[in-house]
Amino acid sequence: MNTEHALTDKIALVTGAGRGIGRGIAERLARDGALVAVHYGHSAAAALEVVAEIRKNGGRAFPVWAELGVPGDADAVFAAFDAGLREHAETERERERDVVGAAAAEGEAAEGEFAKGEAAVEGATAAEGEFAKGEAAVEGATAAEEEAAEGEAAVEREAAVEVASGGRLGSLDILVNNAGTSGSGPIGEAVPEIFDRMIAVNAKAPFFLTQRALPRMRDGGRIINISSLASRRAFPESVAYAMSKGALDTMTLCLAKELGHRGITVNTVGPGFIETDMNARRRKTPEAAAALAARSLFNRIGRPSDVADVVAFLASDDARWITGQYLDVSGGTDL
């Protein structure tokens, strides 16, 4: 599958994109051409680093801050999303105006050179070289005019994005519900505060983010939920976390059936052990890391890119006939 520019003109929102799996997903979608909203809840520095890295590599991104798991979180996310999208559109318009202005100035200069070339031809046969230069200048002027036209078209496209955002419809193509929290422990150690936090961040927030996203999502859009292998294996050491991810899996099934008529696909990706901050405590010693790696058939711990590449596939048109599915992305863990 050739994914270069596969997501051009698409707008994606990735929650929890400041680090780990979310960062990998944001960077991959941007590499495939999407404009990516990099959501974060705590570390602004990490999110801004992701945005800067995407832009350095020629992609497009902007940060979105809102804490999840608190009252009004979904509304806060999309308020920040809309503000970021408008700011991005304005920045792009200013950049394109500069390009158009420079191209116009170059065209005027080229026309002047052409006039000089004509005068030189009339003055002397020896000025043939100057005439040739004038012809080249005309060609340059034509190219400059074409570049200016392309710049104007780009401005119009960005303006359309901003109008769409302000109108709430058509301003989102891909929603990746990635943000999550873990560490609930076995049932004997569970406390209501931790349980409530697990459900609020891992299940309730994606539910209402999706609800708020649907009126603005274009037909043919993509909803991708990042679950966990813990929802498909016995995982008593973090039972509330596993329950919260199980709820996300069920939401995927229900929404896939509800949204099929709009061509919107809804799928779940279930990673196994991935090298992220979330499970760093499980890799504190070489022996512990080796034990985790041994649970995969490939004898290694997964990388964020292992998950991001699957998400990019699901976000693309190549996955248009896949919906309501749980994709195990665990490297064959515990088979």
What is residue 219's three-state secondary structure? Answer: strand
332 in Cβ contact with 297 (< 8 Å): yes
Report the 10 Å Cβ neighbour count for 33: 18
Distance CA 316, CA 311 (A): 9
* Single-letter code of the amino acid located at 181: T
DSSP, collapsed to helix, strand or coil, labels residue 6 as: coil
Half-sphere exposure of 61 (CA within 13 A, CB side): 31
What's the token pair of residue 115? 């006039």
Burial category of 133 from C-beta neighbours within 10 Å (exposed 0-12, middle 13-18, buried 19 and up) = middle
Q: Taking the mean position of all CA atoms in its chain, how far away is CA 114?
A: 47
The two tokens of residue 69 are 């798991």
CB of 206 within 8 A of CB of 227?
no
Quick one: which H or E segment has residue 222?
A: strand 217-226
Catalytically annotated residues: 227-228, 241, 245
Residue pair 160/93 in contact by the 8 Å Cβ criterion = no
